């Protein structure tokens, strides 16, 4: 087979680049994915009970980027959706990100009102404060509150998820879910939020449905590389694997999902409930809240964090901390040496904790800077 581009991976990064190259440059692309489906970790499908599930954990689309929103809107309509999460503390369902409503669920009225007043005085209404910053900035009763939130919302959850405590990770990790000094229970405050109206996979089908794009699923690219003639490659898998781990393995965290279908319309009050203390799982997910599907049944999934072992399970989360970034730089230097032949991009190839919109933005920017103008 002869193509202009060989793209490894059909997630957001690979699909965006394939679409751009096929439609904007009129060049031929072969997309190879080792899984039996397109869409990478954003893949969704109907289970045997007819419920639309997210196979790799709930994916909520949110972005402040007009460029990304407008780009994806060519391939899907959107179902408006604002994600909400609760965390279970002392058996109570507490809104996360922790906000002024959370205070009132946990503490007696007078005390909650006092803490509320102190937070507003100290930081201002509507302000977002990452937990590690709150701990540093707080004094008196606010430092009680900061410690309370740190211990109850972040510490145990983070240990379970990462096997590291919040101080051993980049501050940006817990900074993704800051304390919000308002009554906004939404998990994200981005300008655009929603779910593809007919699911992610339908959207990916439209992105990849161009005659210049061929797909090869169930195939590790290393099995077929020698049989394909191509000019350049784009690789969106784990960068350390590409280079045969010459500098050692980059650490990742992985998850195991256990699905269960229940004979009831809904199981829980919101799409995600976190369990920092009880059980071995961190979260229970119920995607019907996201998809809005109407059914008398519901499918939930329990999320169990696990050690990542190359070749045994899937690398879901790069682990953001200095020593890992240093190791990644060694691989980045290897990638630079071959960039005329192979481009690296995506959550695994860049070893960055990208959300979906960031993966699309990275792909669109790469297309403009390295592909569109040079080809």
- 39/208 with CB nearer ligand UDP: 39
Interface of this chain with ligand FAD, residues 315 to 354, rule: CB under 6 A: 316, 346-348, 354
Nearer to ligand UDP, 238 or 271 (CB): 271
Please identify, using beta-carbon distances, which residue of 60 and 299 lies nearer to ligand FAD: 60
**Which residues within the stretch 35-64 sit at the binding site for ligand FAD (CB under 6 A)?**
35, 40-42, 56-60
Which range, of 10-18, 102-110, 124-132, 205-213, touches ligand FAD by CB under 6 A?
Answer: 10-18
Contact between 10 and ligand FAD per CB under 6 A: yes
Residues 219-248 that bind ligand FAD (CB under 6 A): 220-221, 236-237
Q: ω into residue 97 within 30 of 0, thus cis? A: yes
The residue among 176 and 231 lying less far from ligand UDP, judged by its C-beta, is 176
Supply the minimum distance, in Å, between the C-beta of residue 204 and ligand FAD: 10
CB of 289 to ligand UDP, least distance (A): 15
Residues making contact with ligand UDP (CB under 6 A):
87, 96, 153-154, 157-158, 161, 173-174, 176-177, 274
Smallest separation (angstroms) from ligand FAD to the CB of 31: 9
To 5 degrees, how large is the angle CA 39–CA 43–CA 44? 145
Please pick, from the candidates 22, 32, 53, 284, the single residue that binds ligand FAD as defined by CB under 6 A: 32
Residues that bind ligand FAD (CB under 6 A): 8-14, 32-35, 40-42, 56-60, 220-221, 236-237, 255, 316, 346-348, 354-357, 359
């Amino acid at each position: 087979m002869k193509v202009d581009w060989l793209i490894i991976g059909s997630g957001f990064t690979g699909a965006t680049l394939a679409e751009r190259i096929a439609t904007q440059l009129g060049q031929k692309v072969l997309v190879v994915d080792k899984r039996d489906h397109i869409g990478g970790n954003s893949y969704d499908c109907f289970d045997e009970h007819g419920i639309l599930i997210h196979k790799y954990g709930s994916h909520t689309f949110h972005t402040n980027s007009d460029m990304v929103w407008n780009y994806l809107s060519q391939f899907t309509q959107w179902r408006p959706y604002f994600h909400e999460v609760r965390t279970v503390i002392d058996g109570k369902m507490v809104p996360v990100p922790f906000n002024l409503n959370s205070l009132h669920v946990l503490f007696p009225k007078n005390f909650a009102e006092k803490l509320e007043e102190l937070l507003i005085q100290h930081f201002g209404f509507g302000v977002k404060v990452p937990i590690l910053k709150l701990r540093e900035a707080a004094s008196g009763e606010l430092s009680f509150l900061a410690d309370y939130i740190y211990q109850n919302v972040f510490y145990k959850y983070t240990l379970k998820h990462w096997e590291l405590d919040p101080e051993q990770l980049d501050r940006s990790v817990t900074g993704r879910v800051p304390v919000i000094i308002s009554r906004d229970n939404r998990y994200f405050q981005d300008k655009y939020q929603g779910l593809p109206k007919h699911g992610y996979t339908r959207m990916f089908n439209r992105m990849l449905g161009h005659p210049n794009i061929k797909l090869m699923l169930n195939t590790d690219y290393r099995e077929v590389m020698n049989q394909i003639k191509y000019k350049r490659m784009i690789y969106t898998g784990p960068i350390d694997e590409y280079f045969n781990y010459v500098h050692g393995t980059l650490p990742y965290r992985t998850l195991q999902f256990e699905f269960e279908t229940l004979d009831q319309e809904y199981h829980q009050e919101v799409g995600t409930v976190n369990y920092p203390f009880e059980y071995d799982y961190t979260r229970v997910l119920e995607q019907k809240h996201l998809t809005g599907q109407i059914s008398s049944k519901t499918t939930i999934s329990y999320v169990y964090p696990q050690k990542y072992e190359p070749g045994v399970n899937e690398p879901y989360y790069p682990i953001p901390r200095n020593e890992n970034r240093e190791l990644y730089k060694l691989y980045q230097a290897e990638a630079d040496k071959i960039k005329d032949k192979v481009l690296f991009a995506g959550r695994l190839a860049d070893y960055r904790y990208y959300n979906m919109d960031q993966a699309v933005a990275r792909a669109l920017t790469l297309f403009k800077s390295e592909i569109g103008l040079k080809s």
